[in-house]
């Protein structure tokens, strides 16, 4: 009887030990390990959050720096800030000065994209380019140019521009330089005929580099004149007349409207013969700062 009891007690102890061991194994397998992983995962999450915060901090600082860099530049226009940032992202090789110039001149948009009507209240600072156009019925007030100033009979210009033009031609003559107009005011319909013919001859892409579409020609303003020639083949840029104009035109309120190496801004190839009246003060500023009228207009006229 005693032996049987001993056996029973041993069996119970063995069962209890087995249960304890089994429980321990279960605990190790299903509870301990996962809970360790959870701690690790939490740690990882914290680190990730910290890194994210750091990146955010960095981006915040980077963007603020970028904005103040833009703000400190000449010709910065607050309304264009989003476009500066977008354009800079797309063109990382451009420096900040180029980004501002390009966006101010709308180069972040293709030529003829969403053009607006030229502001007729701008007077002699009226802009006409590949983003600003005149209506087909726009005709400025005009006077007919006299012989001696034009080799095209009946050529017309706006009165103020013409007065300055005459003075320029007269003063040039005193220095042995002969200047004369070969194309001044052109109506919408004349421009339409010219452009259509150029497109037929050379195709749209080529024609767009040297001829304006109707409504987009500065000649429709009556403020522009092609002097002595209107042909690249003539190489007017090598002449004494060009050299004189280059040094003196601004004194009479005229600017070289489509300078060399600025085609990406103006949309036109170098036209050493095309002069535009903007008044003496503005012409002097543009001449001294070596900028295009498009840049001047964006910052000083449209921005105000």
Answer whether 265's CB lies under 8 Å from 294's CB.
yes
Answer whether 168's CB lies under 8 Å from 211's CB.
no
Residue 154 makes CB contacts below 8 A (sequence gap 6+) with 144
Closer residue to Zn ion (CB): 132 or 274: 274
Token couple for 122: 């701008």
Closer residue to Zn ion (CB): 164 or 219: 219
Residues 163-192 that bind Zn ion (CB under 5 A): none
Residue from 134, 86, 135 nearest 107 by CA? 86
Count the site residues for Zn ion by CB under 5 A.
2
**Applying CB under 5 A, which part among 76-84, 193-201, 223-231, 244-252 lies near Zn ion?**
223-231
CB of 276 to Zn ion, least distance (A): 9
Number of residue whose CB is nearest Zn ion? 274
SS3 state at 60: helix
If one asks whether residue 226 binds Zn ion (CB under 5 A), the answer comes out as: yes
CB of 97 to Zn ion, least distance (A): 29
Token couple for 271: 């036209």
Closer residue to Zn ion (CB): 66 or 192: 192
**Applying CB under 5 A, which part among 106-114, 153-161, 206-214, 268-276 lies near Zn ion?**
268-276
CB of 136 to Zn ion, least distance (A): 19
Q: How far apart are CA 210 and CA 236, in angstroms?
A: 15
Closer residue to Zn ion (CB): 103 or 145: 145
33-71 and 81-90 helices cross at what angle (nearest 10)? 110
Residues 274-303 that bind Zn ion (CB under 5 A): 274
Q: Which long-range contacts (CB under 8 A, 24 or more apart) does 101-104 make?
A: 101/75, 101/265, 101/295, 102/264, 102/265, 104/75, 104/77, 104/80, 104/294, 104/295, 104/298, 104/299
**Applying CB under 5 A, which part among 80-88, 189-197, 271-279, 285-293 lies near Zn ion?**
271-279
Closer residue to Zn ion (CB): 104 or 211: 211
Closer residue to Zn ion (CB): 102 or 226: 226
CB of 255 to Zn ion, least distance (A): 13
Beta bridge partners of 275: 225, 256
**Residue ranges that bind Zn ion, judged by CB under 5 A:** 226, 274
């Amino acid at each position: 009887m005693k032996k049987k009891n001993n056996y029973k007690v041993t069996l119970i102890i063995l069962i209890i030990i087995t249960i304890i061991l089994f429980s321990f194994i279960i605990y190790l397998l299903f509870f301990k390990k996962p809970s360790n992983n959870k701690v690790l995962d939490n740690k990882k999450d914290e680190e990730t959050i910290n890194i994210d915060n750091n990146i955010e901090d960095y981006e915040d600082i980077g963007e603020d720096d970028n904005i103040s860099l833009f703000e400190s530049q000449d010709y910065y226009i607050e309304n264009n800030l989003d476009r500066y940032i977008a354009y800079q992202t797309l063109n990382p090789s451009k420096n900040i000065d180029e980004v501002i110039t390009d966006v101010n001149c709308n180069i972040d948009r293709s030529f003829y994209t969403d053009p607006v009507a030229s502001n007729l209240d701008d007077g002699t600072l009226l802009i006409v380019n590949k983003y600003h156009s005149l209506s087909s019925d726009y005709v400025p007030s005009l006077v007919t140019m006299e012989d001696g100033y034009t080799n095209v009979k009946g050529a017309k210009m706006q009165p103020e521009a013409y007065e300055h033009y005459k003075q320029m031609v007269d003063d040039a003559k005193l220095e042995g330089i002969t200047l004369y107009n070969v194309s001044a005011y052109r109506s919408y319909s004349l421009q339409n005929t010219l452009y259509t013919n150029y497109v037929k001859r050379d195709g749209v892409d080529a024609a767009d580099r040297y001829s304006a579409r109707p409504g987009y020609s500065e000649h429709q303003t009556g403020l522009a004149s092609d002097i002595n020639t209107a042909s690249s083949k003539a190489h007017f840029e090598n002449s004494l007349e060009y050299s004189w104009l280059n040094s003196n035109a601004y004194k009479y309120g005229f600017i070289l409207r489509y300078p060399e190496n600025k085609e990406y801004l103006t949309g036109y190839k170098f036209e050493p013969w095309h002069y535009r009246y903007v008044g003496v003060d503005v012409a002097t500023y543009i001449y001294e700062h070596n900028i295009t009228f498009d840049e001047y207009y964006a910052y000083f006229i449209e921005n105000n």
